[in-house]
Amino acid sequence: MLGRDEDILKAAEDWSKAGRGVALATVVETWGSAPRPVGSNLVIDSDGNFLGSVSGGCVEGAVVTEAIDVIDSGKPKVLEFGVADETAWQVGLSCGGTIRVYVEKVG
C-alpha cells in the first residue's frame, strides 16, 4: 500500500505510541532500473501490517519479513536485492537493477 511520506512517518509514530513494535525501511541506494527512488519508505509493525513502498511486488514481502526480525532483535539490517542475486528472481526483482534497503526499529 502506497502512502505519502508524511503519512508513512505519521503511521510509524502513531503505531509506536500505541505500543506496537515498529520498523522503518528506507531505500538508501539504487543502481540501474529500480521501481522506487532513494528515500522511499515502508513502515512495518510487528504483526506484518505496512504502509508505503520500497519496491513493490514480492520484494516488499521479503522486507516485511526481515523488518519483523529487526523489531524482535532491535538490530538494524541492510538488505540488498538485485538481478545478479538469486534472491532477486525469487522475490520478483527482475528489472535489471539493484536496491539497498536499510531497516531499523522505531521507538
Measured CA to CA, the distance from residue 51 to residue 23 in angstroms comes to 11
* Under 8 Å between Cβ of 67 and 16: no
| Parallel/antiparallel/unpaired status of strands 98-106 and 22-31 | antiparallel
Predicted local confidence at residue 58, as pLDDT: 75
Mean pLDDT over the full length of the chain: 86
Average pLDDT for residues 7-31, to the nearest whole number?
94
Measured CA to CA, the distance from residue 69 to residue 73 in angstroms comes to 6
Residue 82: pLDDT above 80?
no
pLDDT in tens, 29-78: 998 878 889 999 999 999 999 999 998 777 889 999 999 999 999 999 99
Predicted local confidence at residue 4, as pLDDT: 73
Predicted local confidence at residue 3, as pLDDT: 59
| DSSP single-letter state for residue 71 | H
CA dihedral 28, 5, 66, 35 (to 10 degrees): -60
Predicted local confidence at residue 84, as pLDDT: 56
* Under 8 Å between Cβ of 94 and 21: no
